[in-house]
Amino acid sequence: MNDTSTVGRREELCRNLESVRARMAAACTQAGRAPDSVRLVAISKFHPASDIRALVACGQREFGESYAQEALAKQDELVGEDILWHFVGGLQSKKAKSVVGRFGLVHSVDSEKLARELAKRAREARVLQPVLIEVNMGEEQKAGVEEAELPALARLVLSLGEGGFGLDLRGLMCLPPVFDSPEEAGPAFEYLRELRDGLAAELGVPLPELSMGMTGDFEAAIAEGATIVRVGTAIFGPRPQRG
Ligand SMILES: *Cc1c(COP(=O)(O)O)cnc(C)c1O
């Protein structure tokens, strides 16, 4: 790539970032929420480390990845940059060891097996790994714990943080079905918030984080109480095909 196109790409990314931030701020105002009550995680899967570096230079600090191998390679490429990494993809138990301690937040704990494996690896590494539980929002989805099993999994995750090393349960995440319009996503987000409120009351813990909302529906998610939105396409443009 020549210098002109590199500069062009950087400007495009920064412009997109500013536009997403402005839309988030407007959604916060509309909902009567403080602008700093929602964090933006830029979902960088399939995009190169150079794009991430450009966005860091425009002030973006939190990035999310969905595939462990790809994420770890980018982390290695970007050592020294001030980045807080999120892991948002489906995670196999056998990959638990490679992600523990390398992501500020793992959004996708959805089984007892994965929780136990992550906790074991966290204890070995003597870290307290912040996590969210991913909740299944529709039968066409494979990921996420069923609502009926959520309380038991949450209790387990809480118990896996006792003693200071292991897992630190911060809240819930969802990836609802793709709707035709953002308005249709609202009830799904409202539902996750209510699940969170009920669970927090039942277990007597705060569970402050709600990770919900992507490019097509982050404003609706903010209206329903999202504390973390995960935005890829609106910042980076369409994802390149995976090679
Ligand atoms: C890819 C991905 C996103 C970003 O999706 P966009 O529609 O591009 O904003 C958010 N969350 C998860 C879990 C993802 O896998």
pLDDT per position as a tens digit, 60-110: 999 999 999 999 999 999 999 999 999 999 999 999 999 999 999 999 999
Q: How far is the CA of 20 from the centre of ligand 1 (A)?
A: 14
What's the CA-to-centroid distance between 9 and ligand 1, angstroms?
A: 21
The residue whose C-alpha atom lies closest to atom 13 belonging to ligand 1 is: 88
| 141 has a pLDDT exceeding 80 | no
Type of residue found at 211: S
- Report the nearest-CA residue for atom 7 of ligand 1: 215
Task: Taking residues 125-152, report their average pLDDT.
Answer: 92
Whether 160 and 211 have beta carbons less than 8 Å apart is answered as no
pLDDT tens-digit series, residues 168-203? 999 999 998 777 777 788 999 999 999 999 999 999
Asked if the model's pLDDT at residue 2 lies above 60, the reply is no
Name residues whose C-beta falls within 8 Å of residue 202's C-beta, 6 or more positions apart in sequence. 151
**For the CA of 234, the nearest atom of ligand 1:** 9
pLDDT of residue 221: 97
Residue 81: CB atoms within 10 Å: 14
* pLDDT recorded at residue 45: 97
Residue 140 has pLDDT above 80, yes or no: no
Give the start-to-end residue ranges of the domains of the chain: 3-236
User: Which string of DSSP letters, residue by residue, matches 66-117?
Assistant: S-HHHHHHHHHHTTTS--EEEE-S---GGGHHHHTTT-SEEEEE-SHHHHHH
Asked if 43 and 51 touch (Cβ cutoff 8 Å), the reply is: no
Q: Determine the residue of 23, 40, 43 to mutate for testing ligand 1's pocket, defined as the one with the most ligand atoms within 8 A of the Cβ atom.
A: 43
Distance, in Å, from the CA atom of 86 to the CA atom of 78, rounded to the nearest integer, reads: 14
The SS3 of residue 178 is: coil
Which residues, judged by CB distance below 6 Å to any ligand atom, belong to the binding site of ligand 1? 43, 45, 66, 88-89, 175, 214-216, 230-233
Q: Which of 214, 228, 233, 236 to mutate to test the pocket of ligand 1 (most atoms within 8 A of CB)?
A: 214
**pLDDT score at 160:** 98
Q: Where are the beta strands (DSSP E) in the chain?
A: 39-43, 62-65, 84-87, 105-109, 128-135, 166-174, 209-211, 228-231
Q: Is the pLDDT of residue 139 over 70?
A: no
pLDDT value at 10 more than 90: yes
Confidence of residue 5 (pLDDT cuts 50, 70, 90): confident
Nearest residue by C-alpha to atom 12 in ligand 1: 88
CATH of domain 3-236: 3.20.20.10
Residue with tokens 């807080």: 84
Task: Name the one residue in this structure whose structure tokens are 């959805």.
Answer: 110
Give, for ligand 1, the residue of 88, 134, 222 to mutate: max count of ligand atoms closer than 8 Å to Cβ. Answer: 88
pLDDT tens digits along 24-64: 999 999 999 999 999 999 999 999 999 999 999 999 999 99
Query: How many other CB atoms are found less than 10 A from the CB of residue 30?
Result: 11
Q: Model confidence at 137, in pLDDT bands (50, 70, 90)?
A: confident
